Amino acid sequence: MKRSNQKLLIILLVLIFILGCRDPLVVGDFIVDSEFYHQRGYLIGNSRVKFKIELAQNFSQNIRYQWTTNGGQFLSQDGNEAVYYSPQTPGDYNINVVISDKLGNQSTYNFPFSVKGAYPERVVLKEITTKSVESGVKIEWSKYLENDFYAYKIFRSRNTYIDDKPQVIAEIDSQGQHSYIDYEVDPSQVYTYQIMVINRYGYFSLSNEKVLKTWQAGVKEIETRNLLSDILTDPIRPKVYVSDLSNNKLLVLDSNKEKITKEIKLSISPKKIFLSKDNNFLFLISSKSKNLLQVNLNNYTKKSYFFNNQIKDITISDNYIYLNTEGAYNLTKFNILTGKVEGKFKLRRREELVNGEDIKVIGDEYLVVDEIFGDVLLYELNDFDQPIKNLAIDSIQSIVGLKVNDNYYLYNINEYLDYVKEFVLKANLDLKLKNTFITQAYPKDFYIDEIEKLLFIISDNKTISIFSTEDYNLKYNIKFKNYLHHIAVDNKKKKIYLITSSIKSTENNIVVVNY
């Protein structure tokens, strides 16, 4: 009996030793159910992750698990398993699990981890364009290609940058949409736009910014983005003709629809357009070309006339075209109706040939010739041998002559002077300065409305100045956001047609203005 008691005592001592030396709450494994975490070594913010903790040994007694964290939140806790939602803010965080049993044993497991933001790739704000206030501002951006898309937001500020109080003008939940039209815009207002991409993790990225100024009320832009060199209106048809220098085309704009309805392919690069006095033909010339191109406005048929020397400029009277050409015979008289040359002449001043740059018929009596680096000379149309007068006016960029009673009124601009001058040429050839229309910058082109007695001047400060030719007062200025190059006016419809450009002077559009 004594011996059996000794054996029992030994067994109890061994059990006490074994149990006393073993910690039953040692963690064997902490499982992170996230393939992304195992690949990258961190968690994505605003992401759902499942955790599981396993002890080194399993026991039948009840084990209690208490999960805590210093960031994010637990969506559920079920014993040794928990579903966790990571914080949005990137940083270093910890999850602590306190493990205890009924015997009072307790241990703590700490899982440190990092959170990084899953910021979406930013889209590129490609273009913002407006053709008129009524048609709104079209916004276009690149497509977002990732599969974590949640929404686009479009920001707008009434400023030259996105300020601290931008307006969210649209929220779009369609990933495939990459354009939007903002109709809620005011005339002559500067806006800046920006696109935000939000992904399903709650992170966002911002695109580049783009600035735009809307057109004035009553203004419409017709986009071509080509190099346009000249424009004129048809006085008897609802048409406007524009020379497209970059594509060798004549563009026909329907003034009722305010759309380009026809494009005529040409054999030359048209620099200037001229309208015959009977309004039946257009004549076009190009730089350093020997061809004169005729377009019939009734059926748009074309005919080309070849000359032996380069054509520098032309001017049209009732029945004739006068061509300023290179060579000894520097003036050619061409009959429009017969399509034949009726004479070649030597424009001379004393014994020397005149090296003319621009020419202009005044009425059916005179020819004005602007010498290169020389004077502005006046010839009679029936005698080109010698000039009858040195007009002694500024070099011509553009000149218009109007006959009033027996006098001619000459309007002239020079690209280096900030005014348009009005001269009166009397029957006795006495020339007097009558008025100077002062502009705020160098004039580029002008148009005279003989019916309404108005002078329209476009200047290189993006302004149209409109003067009265009766009292010479400035009626008003119209300021534009783009540069102005050429002007034509339809005084019946009260519309101004402009060739404009923004930054690149080779990318022109047509702007229509109601006045």
Q: What is the pLDDT of residue 417?
A: 81
Q: How many CB atoms lie within 10 A of CB 184?
A: 9
| CATH architecture for the domain at 125-213 | Sandwich (2.60)
- Return the CATH class of domain 219-358+395-514: mainly beta
Assess whether the region 21-116 and the region 219-358+395-514 belong to the same CATH fold. no
* 3-class DSSP assignment, residue 253: strand
For β-strands 398-404 and 443-449, DSSP reports them as: unpaired
Q: What is the pLDDT of residue 414?
A: 80
Q: 100-140, pLDDT tens digit by residue?
A: 988 888 999 999 999 998 899 999 999 999 999 999 999 99
For the chain, what is the largest distance between any 2 Cα atoms, rounded to a whole number of angstroms? 161
Q: What is the pLDDT of residue 6?
A: 59
Q: What is the pLDDT of residue 103?
A: 82
Is residue 19 predicted with pLDDT exceeding 50? no
Higher pLDDT residue, 50 or 45? Answer: 50
Q: Which of 316, 281, 319 is nearest to 301 (CA)?
A: 281
Q: 76-99, pLDDT tens digit by residue?
A: 999 999 999 999 889 999 999 999
Q: Measured between alpha carbons, how far is 186 from 356 in angstroms, rounded to an integer?
A: 49
Q: What is the pLDDT of residue 317?
A: 95
Q: Which of 387, 276, 290 is nearest to 321 (CA)?
A: 276
Q: What is the pLDDT of residue 416?
A: 74
Q: 368-389, pLDDT tens digit by residue?
A: 999 998 999 999 999 998 999 9
Q: Are 237 and 152 in contact (CB under 8 A)?
A: no
Q: What is the pLDDT of residue 7?
A: 60
Is residue 296 predicted with pLDDT exceeding 60? yes
* High-pLDDT (> 70) share of the chain, %: 95
Q: 178-228, pLDDT tens digit by residue?
A: 999 999 999 999 999 999 999 988 899 999 999 999 999 999 999 998 999
| CATH architecture for the domain at 21-116 | Sandwich (2.60)
Number of continuous H segments (helices) and E segments (strands) in the chain: 2, 45
Q: Measured between alpha carbons, how far is 238 from 262 in angstroms, rounded to an integer?
A: 13
For β-strands 366-371 and 356-362, DSSP reports them as: antiparallel
Q: What is the pLDDT of residue 5?
A: 57
Q: Measured between alpha carbons, how far is 124 from 140 in angstroms, rounded to an integer?
A: 9
Count Cα atoms within 13 angstroms, Cβ side, for 309: 13
Q: Stretch 449-478: mean pLDDT, rounded?
A: 94
The domain limits of the chain are 21-116, 125-213, 219-358+395-514
Q: 390-442, pLDDT tens digit by residue?
A: 999 988 888 888 888 889 999 998 867 889 999 999 999 999 999 999 998 99
Res. 152 pLDDT band, cuts 50 70 90: very high
Res. 25 pLDDT band, cuts 50 70 90: confident
Helix boundaries (H) for 338-494: none
Q: What is the pLDDT of residue 163?
A: 93
Q: Stretch 504-515: mean pLDDT, rounded?
A: 89
Is residue 358 predicted with pLDDT exceeding 60? yes
Q: 20-29, 242-251, 506-515: which range is least confident on average?
A: 20-29
Q: What is the pLDDT of residue 9?
A: 52
